[in-house]
Amino acid sequence: MKIADDLPSALTALDRPNSYIGRSVPRPNLARLMQGRGQYVSDLALARMAHVAFARSPHAHARIKKIDAAAAKKTPGVIAVVTGPELAKVITPWVGVLSHLKGIKSAPQHAIAIDRACWQGEAVCAVVAKSRAEAEDAIDLLDIDYEELPVVTDAETALDAKTLVIHPELGDNLTFERKHEAGEVDKAFKEADAVVEATFVFGRHTGVTNEPRAIVAYWNEGEQRLTVYQGTQAPHMMQNLFAKHLSLAEHQVRVVTKDVGGSFGIKVHTYADEMATVALSKLLKRPVKFVADRLESFITDIHARDHRVKAKIGVKKDGTITAFEIDDLTGIGPYSVYPRTSGIEANQVVNLVGGPYKCPNYRALARVVFQNKNVMCQYRAVGHPIATAVTEGLVELAAAKIGIDPLEMRRKNLIPDDGYPCAGASGIKFEKLSHHAALEKLVKMMGYEKLRAEQAELRKKKIYRGLGFASFIEVTNPSAAFYGVGGAKISAQDGATLRLDAQGALIVHSGVTEQGQGTEAVLAQVAASAFGIAIERVRVVTGDTDNTPYGGGTWASRAAGIGGEAAWQAGKALRQNVLAVAASILQSEPKALDIRNGLVVDADTGRERITLDEVARVAYFRPDTLPPGFQAELVATRHYVPRAWPFAFTNGIQASYLEVDIDTGFVKLLRHWCVEDCGTVINPQLVDEQIRGGIVQGIGAALYEHCIYDERGQLLNGNMADYLVPMAGEMPDMEIGHVVSPTADSELGAKGAGEAGTAGAPAVVMNAINDALRPLGAKIITEMPATPGVVLKALGRV
């Protein structure tokens, strides 16, 4: 039983009375979720609400020759049958490119395919009916004539001259290419005592949010306003996009996001079917609801990973790494996803490979190509699991080759903890990381030597256990460098508005969103701490573009670090405003007063002077008693955006201990550890649970999850029985530790923690399997997921 306050030991103290920073405060919104009284979009019903379902292309690439809707239109309950060309009159197409990804290109994508479907699952016709079932009945009766076209499915041959070009107007199937060279790579490889090469293959997988994508759009013809209830991570971004493509002003669009049943990057993109739903509402002048069912989720929710990385490391006998080189190839489907593009994951791989290490010699090539499969885009820990598995896979292979302990190898090469600020070989900039402290903490936590002894002992009994490690870095708190500079209207800054209500409670409105990670708890903690009030008297409002400051939402581990800092600054500002009113009432000076425990007190003695509800009473109901010319301002808004660094990099290290059944190829996970450094820890429990959840998502990639396509571009396992997500039975217990290196860019010093678990877990599982099999002379496994078949093959058993 581990229900206890697990305070990390070395938190930065923001010591004030009512300081909740660093405390495991329970989230304020759990009771309603546990009682089944959450408000997910899929729960929502509005008067006159219709349901839309989509006919989807069964072919990966096909010309739509004819859609005969006569029978479908006569089906009971049907309100409208709408094709791509018909809907295109209401909504304009989009192109997923960003100007700072030099050379990236894509073709216009429509809400519903116009004359050609480019992947299995692309919507070709919409049916709006009184119920989802009736809409599906009508889809059964649609007569759609397709002419199948040749398909491009293999990324390896997508750029060959004889391969079909999916979008002829683009000239070729190359979406994006990046080359990077730093230091003296050829010389460094020549000087190496050993060079290890491997090809890493990462299976395509997807997010499988427990609540599928859901949207209810309501165009009110009388108000000339569109209200969209959407399970999204970025309400303001979506407001901008709905307005832009429906030719509305942004103030005509309101996006409301209440509870969201899981996001993980799946719900931060533009989906054609969601855009179509909004357009249909405008067309039909009534609320229209779309909830993706699980089967269509598998063929339309963005996929991710699916990279093939040929990689090379040079190493000296003493363990010094001399160079890294990678050649990354990834196929992203027929369109670059709007507005964040599908070039980011490969770009991140280039940025992050070799990131934890001193080695200055680095060559990278990344190519992103079009193909006739579902689109790929940013999913939790974008690029990190790939870069970490490649880097850490190479490091452990090199360590084995020269016969050095893998942790010694890291001690030798990791950037020293006193070596900051500095830049990595890819050009990324580090403010302050703690690789060595994290490693030493991990060694202690896991009892490294003892486990190695146990491993050796068990091997004598033919029990094969392995230990795998991965040091990693994580991109968090992105500045405008991520998207804004590329022309996307995705806010890097975020705001918080704090208001003292008429009874002296604190109401917080924030632009960041709650996806279940605990944003609202963190905002309440920060606001209560900054202002000086008990957290029970704080209410947080998020997810409503009509009622929150403009902001970016939740992605790239930004909510606590950026949204939290805005709330911190707003809390301090409101305190000054309230103290001004109190001083005026008390005929004192604001600086002689303080707010503690929800009371205005003498700053020196702590003696109570006036309650907050009394301040509010006077300010709101008896302002006539205040001095002439004095105006009480019981609201304060502040915004924050990181300026000193493009990203607040965090770091950490993970380890996995597992057992391989060499007769079956099955892997049993025994223990998992993670030490990470996300700067100031605002809520230790929430941080730890982000990491645990992230680790298990990474384990999914390492062992289970895989969107399996055939050569015709058909997804073969698009259901939850055949696509294997991690379930409780096979998952390990995980021990989490912290090192704290706050960012000096903000007063709170908090960096992000949402993706650290997912970044490192695939690498450590892969490394641990290879460690387990090493004495058996097995082939190295560099393929994910490591299925029993993959393991048996490496062992030469099949």
Partner 1 sequence: MKPRSFDYVRVKSLAEAVIALARHGTEAKIIAGGQSLVPLLNMRMASPAILVDINALAELRGISLEGGSLRIGALVRQAEAEGSVEIAKHAPLIAKALPYIGHFAIRNRGTIGGSIALADPAAELPACLLALGGEVEIEGAKGARTVKADDFFKDLYETALGPGDVLIAIRIPVPSKDMRFGFSELARRHGDFAMAGLAACRDGKSARLAFFGVGSTPLRAKKAEAALAKGSLEEAVAVLDHDLDPPDDIHSSGKVKLHLAKTLLRRIAPELAA
Partner 2 sequence: MSAHDISLTVNGEAVREAVEPRRTLVDFLREDLGLTGSHVGCEHGVCGACTVRVDGAVVRGCLVLAVQCDGARVETIEGVSDSGAIADLQNAFEKRNALQCGYCTPGMLLAAEELLAAGGTPGREKIREHISGNYCRCTGYEAIVDAIEAVVQARGGRK
Report the site for partner 1 in 629-668 (rule: CB under 8 A).
Answer: 663-666
Angle formed by the axes of helices 684-699 and 756-773, nearest 10°: 50
Closer to partner 1 by CB, 13 or 716: give it: 716
The partner in contact with residue 792, picked from partner 1, partner 2, none with C-beta cut-offs of 5 to 8 angstroms by kind, is partner 1
Which listed residue (602, 730, 735, 747) binds partner 1 by CB under 8 A?
730
Nearer to partner 1, 580 or 731 (CB): 731
**How far apart are CB 113 and partner 2 at their closest, in Å?**
25
**Binding partner of residue 108 among partner 2, partner 1, none, CB under 5 to 8 Å per kind?**
none
Q: Rounded to whole angstroms, how far apart are CA atoms 588 and 610?
A: 12
Contact flag: residue 224 with partner 2 (CB under 8 A): no
- Maximum separation of any 2 CA atoms in the chain, in Å: 89
Cβ closer to partner 1: 601 or 696? 696
Exposure on the CB side of residue 282, measured as CA atoms within 13 A: 25
Select from partner 1, partner 2, none the partner in contact with residue 663, using the beta carbon and a kind-dependent cut-off of 5 to 8 Å. partner 1
Name 228's bridge partners: 217, 255
**By CB under 8 A, residue 423 contacts partner 1:** no
Q: Which of 90, 127, 185, 792 binds partner 1 (CB under 8 A)?
A: 792
Residue 245: enclosing H or E segment and its boundaries?
helix 235-245
Q: Tell me the closest approach of the beta carbon of residue 1 to partner 2, in angstroms.
A: 5
49 binds partner 1 (CB under 8 A): no
Sign of the dihedral through C-alpha 104, 110, 115, 117: positive
Residues 6+ away with beta carbon under 8 Å from 277: 52, 215, 217, 288, 289, 290
Q: Which segments of 542-649 are extended strands (E)?
A: 593-596, 599-602, 608-611, 635-640
Q: Mind giving me the DSSP string for 19-60? A: --TT--PPPTTHHHHHTT---BGGG---TT-EEEEEEE-SSS
Count, residues near partner 2 per rule CB under 8 A: 59
Q: By the 8 A CB rule, do 549 and 496 touch?
A: yes
Minimum Å gap between C-beta 772 and partner 1 is 18
Contact segment (CB under 8 A) with partner 2 among 203-211, 404-412, 602-610, 639-647 equals 203-211
- Cα distances from 639 to residues 72, 393, 501, 568, 573, in angstroms, run 52, 41, 21, 10, 11
Position among 46, 170, 724, 744 found at the interface with partner 1 (CB under 8 A): 724
Q: Which C-beta is closer to partner 2: that of 294 or that of 591? A: 294
- Cβ neighbors of 532 (< 8 A, separation 6 or more) are 16, 17, 18, 575, 594, 595, 596, 597, 598
Residue 232 tokens read as 């999204």
Applying the rule CB under 8 A, the residues between 157 and 186 that interact with partner 2 are none
Question: Judged by CB under 8 A, how many residues of this single chain contact partner 1?
Answer: 29
Among 727, 775, 779, 796, which residue sits at the site for partner 1 (rule: CB under 8 A)? 727
**The one among 6, 140, 197, 318 contacting partner 1 by CB under 8 A:** 140
Instruction: Answer yes or no whether residue 789 interacts with partner 1 by CB under 8 A.
Output: yes
Determine, following the binding rule CB under 8 A, whether residue 149 of this chain makes contact with partner 1.
no
**Rounded CA gap, 87 and 95, in Å?**
17
372/519 with CB nearer partner 2? 519
Partner whose binding site includes residue 200, from partner 1, partner 2, none (CB under 5 to 8 Å by kind): none
Query: By rule CB under 8 A, what string of x and - marks binding of each residue 108-127 to partner 2?
Result: --------------------
Q: Please, how many CA atoms are within 13 Å of residue 593, restricted to the half-sphere of its CB?
A: 27
CA end-to-end span of the chain = 43
In the list 149, 170, 195, 295, the residue contacting partner 1 (rule: CB under 8 A) is 295
Q: Does 686 bind partner 2 (CB under 8 A)?
A: yes
Integer Cα distance of 452 and 425 in angstroms:
33
- Window 501-560: residues binding partner 2 (CB under 8 A): 515-518
The mark string for 323-352 relative to partner 1 (x by CB under 8 A, - otherwise) is: ------------------------------
Smallest gap from Cβ 793 to partner 1, in A, equals 8
Q: Decide if residue 206 touches partner 2 (CB under 8 A).
A: no
Task: Answer whether 351's CB lies under 8 Å from 366's CB.
Answer: no
Residue 649 or 704 with smaller CB distance to partner 1: 704
Angle between helices 519-531 and 564-586 (to 10 degrees): 30
Q: Which of 21, 162, 89 is nearest to 687 (CA)?
A: 21
CB of 593 closer than 8 Å to CB of 600 = yes
Task: Please name the residues in contact with 304: beta carbons below 8 A apart, sequence gap of 6 or more.
Answer: 204, 205, 206, 207, 265, 345, 376, 377, 378, 379, 382
Among 84, 261, 598, 713, binds partner 2 (CB under 8 A): 261
Q: Which is nearer to partner 1, 340 or 373 (CB)?
A: 373
Integer Cα distance of 609 and 602 in angstroms = 7
Alpha-carbon distance of 177 to 158, in angstroms, equals 14
**CB nearer to partner 2: pick between 36 and 629:** 36
> CB-based contacts of 438: which residues, under 8 Å, 6+ apart?
471, 651, 652, 653, 675, 676, 677, 739
Query: Judged by CB under 8 A, does residue 361 bind partner 2?
Result: no
Which residues of the chain form contacts with partner 1 (CB under 8 A)? Answer: 131-133, 136-137, 140, 293, 295, 663-666, 704, 708, 716-717, 719, 721-722, 724, 727, 729-730, 787-789, 792, 797-798
List of residues contacting partner 2 (CB under 8 A): 1-3, 24, 26-27, 30-31, 33-38, 40, 42-43, 45, 133, 207-212, 259-264, 291, 293-294, 515-518, 685-686, 689, 692-697, 719-721, 725-729, 731, 733-734, 757
